[in-house]
Structure formats: structure tokens, C-alpha cells
Amino acid sequence: MEKVMVKGTEAIGEAAIRAGCRHFFGYPITPQSELPEYMAKRLPEVDGVFLQTESEVATVNMLYGAACTGKRVMTSTSSPGFSLMMEGVSYMACAKLPAVFVNVVRGGPGLGDIQPAQGDYWQATKGGGHGDYRLIVLAPSTVQEAVDLTVLAFDLADKYRTPALILADGLLGQMMEPVEFPEFRDLSTLPDHSDWALIGAKGREPHIVTSFDIDPYKLEKMNLELVEIYKKIEENEVRWEEYKTEDAEIIITAFGTIGRIAKSVVDMARKDGIKVGLFRPITVWPFPYKPLEELANKVDMFFDVEMNMGQMLEDVKLAVKDKRPIKFYSRMGGVVPTPTEILNALKEEIRR
Amino acid sequence: MKKVLYKMPESLTGKEFTYCPGCYHGIIHRLVAEVIDELGIREKTLVVSPIGCSVFAYQFFNMDGTIAPHGRAPAVATGMKRARPDLYVFTYQGDGDLAAIGTAEIMHAANRGEKITTIFVNNAIYGMTGGQMAPTTLLGMKSTTTPYGRKAENDGYPMHMCEFLKEAKGVAYLARTKVNTPQDVEKTKKAIKKAFLAQVKGLGFGMVEVLSTCPTNWGIDPISAGKWLEENMVPEYPLGIFVDKVGDEE
């Protein structure tokens, strides 16, 4: 299939449509407004529904309602907008509603700025909303990967009846790259949710979709059902990329955009005779603890690089378990480090 | 010859209501169910239950349904209706739900002319959380958070949702009624039917605000509550039909 030059945000939108998504609800926020704009133009062409909502709070609840009917649904936003959606995400996770969220992360906390950052890692992987729940969180590092992971996000959301999140950032959203799109999914082949979806109680008992039970024993049962789902996801859906790790003495750990920059750092370091490899989680939940731990048995040191204050660093530490030293380099507030800056920081750590 | 004069509507499950004695939720539930039965749309209707005393509405209505987060029922219903325009969707909301935390969602759903139906039960107080002030609490009225009576200078004025919403061009039917007399029950049923017909005919948003009682949190007996509603709520919240684009009932 032919490759086309596409902007990250628009590529995610097109991938969603090809994955069978026909319902998009969203509210503009920089740096991802091109995604709702793309959907506003594109969805009517495929008999889909685009609705610009009055707020992110309304957005997530429209998503909730549309997902209740068993359709593939999606929204996109950026950090402050995703914070506003958190209540609804918690409701959807508990109500076992499949949906795809895209968070094109910007500088934070608070209003922050509109430049790329990774400060929403904790919110994405450890909660954000209230209660015990998890999201499948996929962190692409190229526009092509964003396309592939968007399709995967819909399939995983449907398979496990849970919301999935594409955790991108402003850089990935705004950059243009050549992309190969998948074929259009035949809507008639999408998963049949008629066993639970709200589609009218004709000739059967009513279907009830809720995140609620006043009886604590019944609610605990609902919680335990979620635990079972999350266990299955952890068993089956861990994804990561390794680059030049076979003979590496130092492993850079990085996700998303910075994972891509780190790849250049690996090549530059090797030219300087330093044996560096890259470990890039693709699912940041479930986090690839085991494969990272296996690397800890073989290498001398880890160098975690992030555009936040060290949020994934905690998961890296959980995986490496004090077996090897872990150094950390970060930039924040929307500053994207250059490969040279990262390499210099790495050399500094080696000298110590 | 035997003739059935009165039976459980098919749109109710028959599960015993959990509401306090003298609360009008039971009457209003039944009216909604009778209307859905009469329109023959039960198998194509989705109920969006609220937060608050009527959180269990999904257990009483015999149809597919969910519970929306506090105030967000119109957004949830919008998502449902946009995804399945062939189905009928209604929200059932109290005053705390619709006139406080959910003001934005109801205003925008109405203004978009969302083809959904809203049953708005106004009893001028927060019920389930134990009698705190609602946006609809009357001036001078005591609640657990207005122990000296609601004062405009501190708490603002009672919210008149019908009066706000009547200006929204997407509204196809809008009425305020009460159910404390048999005649009012009949009028309310007609209004609810029209609010659903606004949806069935694809005309736009339909809402009926029903003035209701809360003997438990008002601290009076059910008979006095009906009287109190008549004497205090009706002057503040005038009854009437604010918008009617449905026309004569078929």
C-alpha cells in the first residue's frame, strides 16, 4: 500500500475511522485541535457522527452514552482536558465500556503550556480518576506507530471491555511523517456487543450498564471482575521495543517521543564506542516489567530519560529491583531535549 | 363482563419503589411508564437514571438503562441518541442533578435540540444527601445548609429552569406541572406524553418539570407536604406550558 505524508493528529483520526469508529465527541484544545477538526470533516463522508461538545466533562459522558450502545467511540484531548474527563473515565472503566481516548500531552501541571511533555504518565497509568481501575495505555513514538496503535486500541478496548488510551504528546501530534494506513474495517465484522449493550429490551430482560451497586458485597464482586480483566491484559498484552540491546552495557529506558529521540542517542553513543541499547515500553500499562528485569541481569546500568520529573522511573525501578544502578535525565515544562544533550548527560553519568 | 381498569404498566418492572412515604417519585415513575406503554415504544427506549433518590430508577423501569454521573444525564443521553437515533432516550433528574451540577449539560442539550426527553423532578431540596439546599430551594426555606433560611444575598435566588430553557431554540416541548391532585396527575401525564412525542416526531428536546415533595427532608407529614407545595412552591414556580411545537395529540 502507498505511503502518504500525514500529520500525527490527523493520522490518528483516519486510523480510527478505518478501525470502524463512526462516533467522535470532542472539545478543542491545543495541541490536538486538528484531530477533532479532521473528524468534523471526515466523519460525515462515512456516515459518521461528529459532535463538538460544550466541555470535556460533557465529552466523556457522551462517549459513555454512545459506548453503552456498543458502538466504537472516540475522543481526543490534551492534558487539562483529560483531567476534566477523569470522573467519566472512572465510570466507564467500572461500567466495562470500550472506548478510545487520545491524550496529546502538553506541559503542566495546571494550565502549563502547549509544548510537548510527558507529565501525564502517572495520571494515565496509575489512575487519575477515583477508585480501583486501569486503562490500557499505548505510547506511540512515530506517526506510523500512532496509526497502528490506534487500531489496536479499538480492538483491545472491545476485547477486554475497557477504555484504552493513546498517550501521545504535542510533538507526535504536530509532526508529519509518511504513513501506511490499514484497510477499512468492514463494520459488519466488528465485535457484536448485543449481549450487554443498551439497544432496546426487545424479547428479553433489560440490560443495565452501571458502575454502581449499593450492596458492598455485590460491588466487591464488580471490582473483582475488573481485577480479572486487568490480570488477563497483563498476561497477554505487554508490548515493548528493544533496540541494540543484545550486547548493550547501558540501557536507556524511554517512552513515546523521547523514546524515539533516545534511538538516535543509542547510535551516537555507539559511534563514540559506548555500548548503549534502548528499551521502549509501548504499553506503559501494562508495563513490561519482566522483559526489563531480564535485561537487568545482563547490563551494567540503566539511564531513564523522560519529559517529566521521573514518573516512569518508578516503574523502571520496580522492574530493575535494585539489581543495577538507575540514572535519570529529564527536561520539563515543554522542553524537548536534543539527542546531544541526552548523550552528554549520559557521558556525565558514566564519568561519575 | 370483566374489564381491566387498572394494571401495572409493562414499562415498570413491578419492583417495589424505595421512596419515602409521601414522595411523588412513585406517581411520576408510573406516569412515565404509562406514556411509554401508550406510545408502544418500551422495547426501543433507554432510561438514563440520575444520582440522588431516584438513582434506582433503572430498577423500576422495564427497559435497557444506565446511571449517569451526577448532572451528566443529558450528555449521556446525547451520546446514546447520536449513536442510535432509532431508539428513544429519556433522562430522569432531580433539581440538584439538573439545576446545580448539571446546568451546563441540560442547557446545551436543550439548545442543540437534542432529540431526547427529560423528566425533571423539582422538590426544592437535596433528598438523598439529607436535606441540603438545592438551587430550587425557596427564599427563607430552611435546609441543613441554610439553617437560618435561604437568603438571596448569601445563597442567590431560586433557579427557574423552565424560564431559562424556554429561550433555547432547540426546545420542542417544555412544561411545568405538579401531581398533588388527581387533575394535576392527568395534566402531568399529558405533558409527559407531549415531551415524548417531541422526540418520537423528531422535533427536538422535550422536558417536563414536575413539582414534587420531600416530606422527610422538609420535616412535615405527606398531607402537609402537598399543601406546602401548593401554597409555597406554585407561587414561586408558576405552572404552565412554556413551549409546545408538538401540536395536538394524535
Determine the pLDDT at residue B249: 62
Dihedral (CA of A216, A222, A226, A227) sign: positive
- A169 burial (CB, 10 Å; 0-12 / 13-18 / 19+) is buried
Contact B82 A212 (CB under 8 A): no
pLDDT of B108 higher than 90: yes
Please give the helix or strand (H or E) that residue B241 lies within, else none: strand B240-244
Determine the pLDDT at residue A352: 84
Average pLDDT, chain A: 97
Residues 6+ apart with CB under 8 A from A236: none
Facing residue for B80 by CB, picked from A66, A88, A202: A66
Q: Does the ipTM exceed 0.90?
A: yes
- Are A143 and A116 in contact, with CB atoms under 8 Å apart? no
Q: How confident is the model at residue B74 (pLDDT cuts 50, 70, 90)?
A: very high
- Mean pLDDT on A80-108: 98
**What SS3 string covers B89-153?**
EEEEEEHHHHHHHCHHHHHHHHHCCCCCEEEEEECCCCCCCCCCCCCCCCCCCCECCECCCCCHH
Please report residues of B whose CB lies closer than 8 A to that of A198.
Answer: 46, 64-66, 80
B132: Cα within 13 Å, side-chain hemisphere = 8
Facing residue for B76 by CB, picked from A51, A55, A64: A64
A198 shares contact with chain B (CB less than 8 Å): yes
**pTM of model > 0.95:** yes
Residues from B in contact with A at Cβ < 8 Å:
13, 42-46, 48, 55, 58-59, 61-69, 72, 75-84, 87, 104-105, 108
A67 shares contact with chain B (CB less than 8 Å): yes
Q: How confident is the model at residue B248 (pLDDT cuts 50, 70, 90)?
A: confident
Contact B43 A55 (CB under 8 A): no
* pLDDT tens, position by position, A34-61: 999 999 999 999 999 999 999 999 999 9
Q: How many residues does chain B have?
A: 250
The shortest C-alpha distance from A244 to chain B (Å) reads 47
Facing residue for A200 by CB, picked from B58, B64, B67: B64
For chains A and B, what is the number of CB pairs under 8 angstroms? 125
Q: How confident is the model at residue B2 (pLDDT cuts 50, 70, 90)?
A: confident
Determine the pLDDT at residue B250: 54
Which residue type is seen at A159?
A: K
Least confident of A96-100, B24-28, B228-232, B246-250: B246-250
Determine the pLDDT at residue B124: 98
pLDDT of A337 higher than 90: yes
Determine the pLDDT at residue B138: 98
> Can you tell me whether residue B161 is helix, strand or coil?
helix
A30 shares contact with chain B (CB less than 8 Å): no
Cα–Cα nearest to A313, from A299, A300, A301, A327: A327
Contact A66 B63 (CB under 8 A): no
Please report residues of B whose CB lies closer than 8 A to that of A53.
Answer: 75, 108
Q: How many residues does chain A have?
A: 352
Contact B82 A202 (CB under 8 A): no
Q: What is the DSSP string of A281-342?
A: ESEEES--HHHHHHHHTT-SEEEEEESSSSTTHHHHHHHHTTSS-EEEEE--TTPPPPHHHH
pLDDT of A296 higher than 70: yes
A222 shares contact with chain B (CB less than 8 Å): no
